[in-house]
């Protein structure tokens, strides 16, 4: 088997592993394998190609994490404690009134809400307290 063929096969294996596992880790080794296969066309020295693969894989894994991490962590999907709801600000999705419960959005999640005052859809609100799965809110001045 030629040097470049070995690296192509290894790259395919890494890509298949990436598809099977949800880690976003093996992709970088697959890319490194394919790039090393190009080098394998020009040299048959296993030490040179293996060293190149290791260094390139290390560089891709280390530096790509800094680039990819913001994409993987969305501020809308962050986990929060229910205690953080008190005094949190949000927006009314539907009208909320004395005799009418409505929907508000806090930390990217929608909650059932009640209020002692009339709140229109789109108004900014603040959470006074939580009663079960319902938030008691008031209009933010």
Per-residue pLDDT of the chain (141 residues; tens, 9 = 90+): 898 999 999 999 999 999 998 777 898 999 999 999 999 999 989 999 999 999 999 999 888 877 766 666 555 555 557 777 888 899 999 999 888 899 999 888 899 999 989 999 999 999 999 888 889 999 987
CATH 2.40.50.140 residue window(s) in the chain? 77-139
Task: Characterise 25 by phi-psi region: left (phi > 0), alpha (psi -120 to 50), beta (else).
Answer: alpha
Assign a CATH topology to domain 77-139. Answer: OB fold (Dihydrolipoamide Acetyltransferase, E2P) (2.40.50)
Q: Which residues contact 13 (CB under 8 A, 6 or more apart)?
A: 30
pLDDT of residue 22: 73
């Amino acid at each position: 088997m030629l040097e470049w063929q070995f690296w192509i096969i290894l790259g395919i294996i890494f890509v298949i592993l990436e598809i099977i596992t949800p880690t976003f880790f093996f992709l970088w080794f697959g890319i490194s394998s394919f790039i090393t296969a190009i080098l394998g066309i020009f040299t048959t020295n296993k030490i040179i190609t293996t060293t190149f693969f290791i260094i390139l894989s290390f560089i891709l894994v280390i530096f790509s994490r800094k680039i990819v991490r913001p994409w993987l962590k969305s501020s809308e999907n962050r986990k929060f404690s229910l205690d953080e709801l008190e005094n949190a600000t949000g927006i009314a999705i539907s009208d909320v009134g004395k005799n009418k419960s409505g929907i508000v959005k806090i930390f990217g999640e929608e909650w059932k809400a009640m209020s002692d005052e009339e709140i229109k859809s789109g108004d900014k609100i603040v959470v006074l307290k939580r009663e079960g799965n319902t938030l008691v809110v008031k209009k933010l001045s």
